[in-house]
Structure 1
Amino acid sequence: MPVLQPLPNDVSPKHRVATLATLPLFWSLTRKRVVVAGGSDAAAWKAELLSACGAEVHLYARRSEASEGLLDLITRRAAHECGRLVHHDDSWHDGVFEGAALAIGDCEDGTEAEAFFKAARTAGVPVNVIDKPAFCQFQFGSIVNRSPVVVAISTDGAAPILAQAIRRRIETLLPPAIKHWATIAQRIRERVNARLQPGAARRIFWERFVDRSFQDTPEEGVETRLMAELGRLATPRPAIGRVTIVGAGPGDAELLTLKAVRALQAADVIIYDEQISSDVLELARREAKRILVSQLNPTASGKPRAEDGAQVAALAKAGKRVVRLQPGNPRATSAGIEEAERLERLGIAVELVAGVNADNGDANAAAMAIRLIDSTLPRRASC
């Protein structure tokens, strides 16, 4: 339909991702050679961590200078079936970096740290010198291990104790069974991708999968039932979208209701007013297209018009899940109710999600609730 050609994209200052101090990466080290230099417990911990990732860790430390922790580590096998620990009863030298994927050093002073850093860089190897930020190209964060689910937390070196506290909280929120669900997801992923094309049906399957993974322990025969559900979703059916009119309340992201956050994380398209804050939009699904309401009709004043409703309805009829994000509480304003009625007259299913009223006890209650449960919500993503 011409009304959809083309869909405007968000060109406002409200970026999809706020400023990042560092880029988080998850790097496979299976069967990769890694150099660890130093005989301390800190070096031993890094070596154990790297071998648990499947790396072949070459430890350079004189046995006479090695800590008890390092000596104990040398006698044990790596946790990962592909991991190896190879001890060299010698100090590091320039030749140890050849073919290495990473280099970790525990150096006694700045002179040795600088030498280790320069030697690794000359060999083209990313390097980290423990507790010497000036000689670190990358950092180690605090880790929550539910492998293959791995959560890493970084404060860019500013407050390691805070990272540890965050890790402890996440540990309590992630059920132990999540690792088993993740393993099942690995096994069925190719079958899902083969049966369901990218889009609504595939996302619905994975959203239901994720919801189940936070509620239940996988029982015997779960894969058979998942495949049956996959078959039902793979059956062609008319695209049916919907519109959810969501109230952003007074504008504080912490005052969004749980229902509002869920709607934002499930949206294909988000149409929002100028007053909506970047913090609120940060909670939305990353892949969702964002459109300022004034962009629907560049000549419009920014207020909802019949033409705007027609464009929103066209998006829903094309199978999109549309969130109309408004400040305040759409249930309590004539504009929100009129917009819902206008869409319903066009044959679109509409849901109104109330926003918190800032002038009563709702605000404190919502703030407490969202702090307790927001971090348990899976970030929606197309799989």
Structure 2
Amino acid sequence: MRVLPPPPNDSPQRVAALATLPLFFSLAHKRVVVAGGSDAAAWKAELIAASGAEVHLYAPRGESSEGLVDLVARGAAHVSGRIIHHDEHWHDGIFEGAALAIADCEDEGEAEAFFDAARAAGVPVNVIDKPAFCQFQFGSIVNRSPVVVAISTDGAAPILAQAIRRRIETLLPPAIKRWATIAQAVRGRVNARLDPGAARRSFWEHFVDRAFLDTPEEGVETRLMAEMDRLAKSVPAIGRVTIVGAGPGEAELLTLKAVRALQAADVILYDERISTDVLELARREAKRILVRDPDRGDRLAALARAGKRVVRLQAGNPLADTATLEESARLEGLGIGAEIIAGVDADRYPTSTGLGEAIRPQWQRRPTRAGGTWPVTE
């Protein structure tokens, strides 16, 4: 019997390969074992207790660092968190009922024994700074709780993760914490009032715009509910078409406006010249359609009439393409809003090695002694 090859699949992967799967694990009221009297063990105990866990810390007092003794006296930052100090070394009987087990072990033999004992009890285990005895890793954290950002390099470059964290710290305004708390408070009402789709997404997009621009003022929840009621009563609007120039095809060369369009799209039409890295910037829920035929105007119009926000990704700069300009005018003539977002000129910046200094972010430049700039060495 002849076995036929599987049919080609034009749908790209929505996410590239991951070194590890990032998870956010609720530890409130759960028992966690931490072994070791070092400052490193104390930091892990403090971090876990700040998540609301009951931390059982095993370390003889005579082998405990000042940081660990101070932590035990200070207690947990979380209202549900607890730190219980056991003045003894860890042993096989401590793992039952634990959600996690963490240890700081001086030598490989103790690390292996702790690892094996935790695994035998069915408890996920991490031995600090010993990747061979870790079933999970700790990332570098940006804390705007309930907004929490974690960065991991899969243990390859912790210093890089810390540098990324510092940059994210500067991007997230402190008010994000309050906005996130407000979002928690109104989420149930919004989901009950607005059906999934354009109206609900419009509400949250306006919410996010405000969160990055303003500090929440008194009465903001009342105004948000008024906006929700307005959207609930409005007649479903026709969709829009945005034609996005992908330039030479590198994700780093997309404009901020282009990225924003990709993250708001319901449907993305693209051709074979568009890279996976560019598509990765799109909203995960967006439907991706590989288009090979040259006539896409009718499909764009049909999707927009169905209320979809449609993005057509094309290489180069669509503002320099006469056919694209004519297509945009035709859509406008049909009563469908159409916008063109320019792409970086592929002739001017053909590859990343040819990037001009003018389009580098400011943080990628450094001053010369004469006051100019040197391009950063890749």
TM-score, normalised by the number of residues in structure 2: 0.90
Paired with 1:265 and 1:364, the residues of 2 have a C-alpha distance of 27
Paired with 1:167 and 1:22, the residues of 2 have a C-alpha distance of 18
Deviations, residues 26-52 of structure 1 (Å, cap 9, x unaligned): 000000000000111100000000000
Gaps of 5+ in 2: 1-7, 365-378
The question of 1:333 aligning with 2:331 is answered no
Structure 2 letter corresponding to 1:40: S
What does residue range 355-374 of structure 1 map to in structure 2 within 5 Å? 355-360=343-348, 364=356, 367-369=359-361
Residue 210 of structure 2, aligned match among 212, 215, 240: 212
Deviations, residues 324-373 of structure 1 (Å, cap 9, x unaligned): 1111111111221122133233331111111111334896477425989x
The runs of 4+ residues in structure 1 deviating greater than 3 Å are 10-14, 358-367, 369-372
**Which range is displaced more, 336-345 or 314-323?**
336-345
What does residue range 202-241 of structure 1 map to in structure 2 within 5 Å? 202-241=200-239
Contact 1:239/1:319 (<8 A) preserved: yes
Q: Secondary structure at the match of 1:101?
A: strand
Deviations, residues 68-95 of structure 1 (Å, cap 9, x unaligned): 1111111112100000000011111111
**Which range is displaced more, 200-209 or 343-352?**
343-352
Q: CA 1:311/1:366 → structure 2, altered by over 3 Å: closer, same or farther?
A: farther
What does residue range 138-153 of structure 1 map to in structure 2 within 5 Å? 138-153=136-151
Aligned residues: CA RMSD: 1.8
1:22 alignment counterpart: 20
Structure 1 letter corresponding to 2:310: V
1:81 alignment counterpart: 79
Paired with 2:301 and 2:129, the residues of 1 have a C-alpha distance of 57
Residue 114 of structure 2, aligned match among 113, 116, 127: 116
Contact 1:52/1:83 (<8 A) preserved: yes
Q: Secondary structure at the match of 2:360?
A: helix
1:321 alignment counterpart: 309
Gaps of 5+ in 1: 1-9, 295-301, 373-383
Paired with 1:238 and 1:65, the residues of 2 have a C-alpha distance of 67
2:376 alignment counterpart: none
Q: Secondary structure at the match of 2:106?
A: coil
2:285 alignment counterpart: 287
Residue 92 of structure 1, aligned match among 85, 90, 93: 90
Number of aligned residue pairs: 353
1:345 alignment counterpart: 333
Q: CA 1:366/1:214 → structure 2, altered by over 3 Å: closer, same or farther?
A: farther
Q: Secondary structure at the match of 1:191?
A: helix
The question of 1:196 aligning with 2:194 is answered yes
- Comparing both chains, which one has the higher relative contact order based on Cα–Cα distances under 8 Å and sequence gaps of 6 or more? 1
TM-score, normalised by the number of residues in structure 1: 0.89
